[in-house]
Amino acid sequence: MLHKFAAIVLCVFGVCAMSHAAAPVLVIHGGAGVIKKEMDPATQKAVRAALATALERGYAQLKAGKPALDAVTAAITVLEDDPHFNAGKGAVFNHDGKNELDASIMDGDTLRAGGVANVHRVKNPILLARAVMEHSPHVLMFGDGAEEFAKTQGIVLVDPKYFWTEKRWQELQDALKKDAAGQHADAEKEGHFGTVGAVALDKAGHLAAGTSTGGMTDKRFGRVGDSPIIGAGTYANAGCAVSGTGWGEYYLRTVAAHEICMRVTQMHQPLKEAAEYVINKEIPKLGGDGGAIVLGADGEFATPFNTDGMYRGWVDKDGKIHVAIFPGE
């Protein structure tokens, strides 16, 4: 443990307490479900570059001594602004040809949390989720009400046309064709991937987690997945931080992010073992799939997934940047 922490003893009026200076760590994901045969070299290059930029922006906050929350929001906003990811600019379309954006964030030190769901004009939903956490008495805001709150907080709102991309529009058209052919179940199974997220450990030893998504292609009826729901797609406490990506209904049913952290902090299960069990055993057993990024207070982390790939990256305790897409990287 000595290579990861420098112990500092603080004494006030004869009472001494131990605090720790941690080596900062940042882990991010840009969504599970990557299909290698559909990944051309140009797309791979662009995705890897975006992941690296997100890591650089987020880690700069940690190196400057800023809290883990700042690193999480800095990294996620980069991914929200990049059309290669299903969040923000690259969000998928619902059945009616509209974008419905979700996000959440959580501070592991205080257990404060904020989330937003089904917003249509918020350029960076993760910033609004943080505003909900820090400037309201609530945890979750929805739709038009969330956007009204965004106006009071100076959060940037854009014309819905900002989110339109040719790729996502064509994905919707393909899904609609399958609907018409009676293949809605197949379209739903193919359309649930996406999401971006980050987990961070700062110099004070505090953890934070955040997640942002455009949801599911061709989704109907105001469907909300796991990403804006604390405990399902996002969770952080003093010992563990998680951001998930995958078929949200199964992350909701297993309360996946919270389940992983409870295994780590309450059952004292090794972090990688806990992450592996929930993501690669519990969720698939029910019929779901996906991945997650998990970070512990000691700097250990895991990036389990059970799909063709998962956009992911990390800056380890030595400050080295790593980016990966496929298994084994």
- pLDDT band (50, 70, 90) for residue 60: very high
What is the residue type of 198? A
Q: First-to-last CA distance in the chain? A: 26
What pLDDT score was predicted for residue 1? Answer: 35
Place of tokens 């917003």: 119
Tens of pLDDT, residues 142-157: 999 999 999 999 999 9
What is the residue type of 229? I
> Which of the residues are catalytic?
195
What is the residue type of 209? A
Range 222-233 average pLDDT: 97
What pLDDT score was predicted for residue 194? Answer: 78
Residue 15 has pLDDT above 80, yes or no: no
Structural domains of the chain, ranges and CATH numbers in brackets: 22-324 (3.60.20.30)
Residue 9 has pLDDT above 60, yes or no: no
Residues 6+ apart with CB under 8 A from 121: 147, 157, 158, 159, 160
- d(C-alpha 217, C-alpha 168), whole Å: 8
- pLDDT band (50, 70, 90) for residue 4: very low
Nearest partner of 81 among 141, 156, 3, 182, judged by Cα: 156
Range 34-50 average pLDDT: 88
H or E segment and range at residue 54:
helix 41-63
Tens of pLDDT, residues 67-108: 999 999 999 999 999 999 999 999 999 999 999 999 999 999
- d(C-alpha 287, C-alpha 13), whole Å: 58
- d(C-alpha 221, C-alpha 224), whole Å: 9
- pLDDT band (50, 70, 90) for residue 192: low
What pLDDT score was predicted for residue 2? Answer: 34
- d(C-alpha 207, C-alpha 121), whole Å: 29
What pLDDT score was predicted for residue 21? Answer: 72
Nearest partner of 122 among 170, 93, 160, 82, judged by Cα: 160
Packed helices 68-80 and 41-63: angle between N→C axes, nearest 10 degrees: 160
- Give backbone dihedrals phi and psi of 230, rounded to 5 degrees, phi first: -65, 130
Mean pLDDT of the chain: 91
The string of DSSP letters for 6-51 reads: EEEEEEETTEEEEEEEEPPEEEEEEEE---GGG--HHHHHHHHHHH
Tens of pLDDT, residues 204-216: 999 999 999 999 9
Residue 245 has pLDDT above 80, yes or no: yes
* Percentage of the chain exceeding pLDDT 90: 84
